[in-house]
């Protein structure tokens, strides 16, 4: 039985606060978008995303809500909200809260972001930005055997990113994320992967795959004033030595001063996951329980293609 906790009402409250801020923030700037994605196994994802400046102040708020489903996986919901403070031309500080749930795993976390626009130091119009991030997320497991005590595992993450405009119409970006855990989560994760298979898709991918590290690289090209093309590639290595690879091609078209449309095609491949040893847990009575024996195939290799379409409106 899927004991799914609805995250979208949580996101709706955040979005309502955002929409309330839009009329008073119109002069300062506000943006909202709706995105739909599709893929194999009847995969569907719908997301709403928005941000708004607050009363022409250096503060801005942002919020999003997402729900995805597939015929061979539990539904995934994700939501979050954040507050950004532009302290100066050089620095922007952000605080974000995020929730993810797929029925057997509930993740709640907070992140602190610092963006440094270094080009302001030498008054260049070509962006040079460094992005630093520190995050902590609590993983709460459910759906485990009754004799195994439910547990909470804390993940910490750090990230370093760099964005550099080469010309007015060409830019590059890259980032590295590193993850650690307060205790080894592989026994619990292996059991859930075997008994509640999930898709590693969209916003939920890194959190639900128990990552060890992620590297990303992207190129942005603006061949026309109203057209922006994004090409990106990412690779995640998980605690099970699984490789998650994604390549994306996206095109954004600014139809009017207010309306933009975005379309993307992504290729996602994953290597198979098999246990190399027994994964055991000690119960509250002190007994050792083998959750997943050695040699068990947790997930097969995949090679899939996804599409994404988005409409955005600038106020």
DSSP state, 145? -
Please tell me the distance from the alpha carbon of residue 275 to that of residue 294, in angstroms, as a whole number.
5
Confidence of residue 200 (pLDDT cuts 50, 70, 90): very low
**Is residue 279 situated within a structural domain?**
yes
Residue ranges making up the domain that contains 165: 88-314
Mean pLDDT across 161-176:
98
Q: Give the closest residue to 155 by CA, choosing from 214, 84, 202, 74.
A: 214
**Is residue 9 situated within a structural domain?**
no
pLDDT of 11 reads: 52
pLDDT of 3 reads: 38
pLDDT surpassing 50 at residue 302: yes
Over the stretch 109-145, which tens digit does the pLDDT of each residue have?
Answer: 999 999 999 999 999 999 999 999 999 999 988 766 6
Please tell me the distance from the alpha carbon of residue 210 to that of residue 103, in angstroms, as a whole number.
16
**Is residue 24 situated within a structural domain?**
no
pLDDT of 7 reads: 45
**Is residue 273 situated within a structural domain?**
yes
Q: Which residue has the tokens 């602190």?
A: 112
Q: How many domains does the chain have?
A: 1
Output the pTM of the full model.
0.84
Pairing of strands 243-254, 227-238: antiparallel
Lowest mean pLDDT among 163-167, 239-243, 271-275: 271-275
Over the stretch 61-117, which tens digit does the pLDDT of each residue have?
Answer: 999 999 988 887 778 899 999 999 999 999 999 999 999 988 778 899 999 999 999
pLDDT of 13 reads: 54
Confidence of residue 267 (pLDDT cuts 50, 70, 90): very high
**Is residue 6 situated within a structural domain?**
no
pLDDT of 20 reads: 56
Please tell me the distance from the alpha carbon of residue 99 to that of residue 105, in angstroms, as a whole number.
11
Q: Is 189 left (phi over 0), alpha (psi -120 to 50) or beta?
A: alpha
Mean pLDDT across 259-287:
83
> Which tokens hold the place of 179?
């993850």
H/E segment holding residue 205: helix 205-208
pLDDT of 298 reads: 79
Report CA-CA distances (Å) from 57 to 33, 49, 63, 87: 22, 21, 18, 10
Over the stretch 201-240, which tens digit does the pLDDT of each residue have?
Answer: 443 456 678 899 999 999 999 999 999 999 999 999 998 8
H/E segment holding residue 47: strand 43-53
pLDDT of 157 reads: 97
**From the centroid of its chain, how far is CA 220?**
20
**From the centroid of its chain, how far is CA 43?**
17
Over the stretch 9-53, which tens digit does the pLDDT of each residue have?
Answer: 545 555 555 555 555 444 568 999 999 999 998 889 999 999 999
**Is residue 97 situated within a structural domain?**
yes
Residue 176 sits in a domain of what CATH number? Answer: 2.40.160
Please tell me the distance from the alpha carbon of residue 274 to that of residue 276, in angstroms, as a whole number.
6
**Is residue 146 situated within a structural domain?**
yes
Residue-averaged pLDDT of the chain: 85
Is the Cα torsion angle 216, 115, 18, 8 positive or negative in sign? positive
**Is residue 56 situated within a structural domain?**
no
pLDDT of 207 reads: 65
> Which tokens hold the place of 219?
């190129």
- 145-149, 207-211, 300-304 — most confident range: 300-304
Q: Residues 43-50: contacts with CB within 8 Å, 24+ apart?
A: 43/68, 43/69, 43/70, 43/71, 43/199, 43/201, 43/306, 44/68, 44/69, 44/70, 45/69, 45/201, 45/202, 47/202, 47/203, 48/11, 48/15, 50/15, 50/18, 50/19
pLDDT of 66 reads: 93
């Amino acid at each position: 039985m899927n004991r799914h906790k609805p995250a979208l009402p949580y996101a709706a409250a955040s979005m309502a606060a955002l929409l309330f801020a839009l009329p008073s923030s119109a002069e300062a700037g506000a943006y909202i978008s709706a995105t739909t994605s599709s893929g194999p196994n009847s995969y569907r994802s719908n997301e709403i995303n928005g941000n708004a400046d607050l009363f022409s102040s250096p503060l801005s708020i942002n919020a999003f809500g997402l729900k995805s489903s597939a015929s061979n996986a539990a539904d995934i919901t994700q939501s979050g909200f954040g507050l950004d403070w532009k302290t100066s031309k050089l620095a922007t500080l952000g605080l974000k809260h995020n929730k993810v749930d797929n029925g057997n795993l509930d993740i709640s976390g907070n992140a602190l972001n610092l963006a440094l626009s270094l080009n302001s130091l030498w008054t260049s119009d070509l962006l040079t930005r460094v992005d630093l991030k520190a995050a902590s997320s609590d993983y709460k497991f459910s759906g485990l055997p009754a004799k195994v005590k439910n547990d909470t595992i804390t993940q910490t993450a750090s990230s370093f990113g760099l964005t550099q405009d080469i010309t007015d119409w060409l830019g590059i970006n890259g980032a590295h994320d590193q993850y650690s855990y307060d205790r080894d989560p592989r026994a619990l994760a292996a059991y859930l992967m075997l008994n509640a298979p999930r898709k590693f898709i969209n916003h939920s991918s890194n959190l639900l795959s128990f990552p060890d590290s992620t590297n990303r690289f992207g190129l942005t090209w603006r061949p026309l004033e109203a057209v922006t093309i994004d090409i990106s590639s990412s690779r995640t290595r998980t605690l099970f030595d699984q490789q998650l690879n994604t390549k994306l091609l996206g095109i954004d078209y600014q139809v009017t001063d207010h309306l933009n449309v975005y379309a993307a095609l992504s290729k996602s491949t994953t290597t198979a996951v098999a246990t190399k040893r027994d994964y055991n847990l000690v119960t509250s009575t002190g007994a050792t329980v083998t959750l997943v024996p050695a040699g068990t195939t947790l997930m097969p290799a995949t090679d899939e293609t996804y599409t994404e379409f988005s409409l955005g409106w600038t106020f």
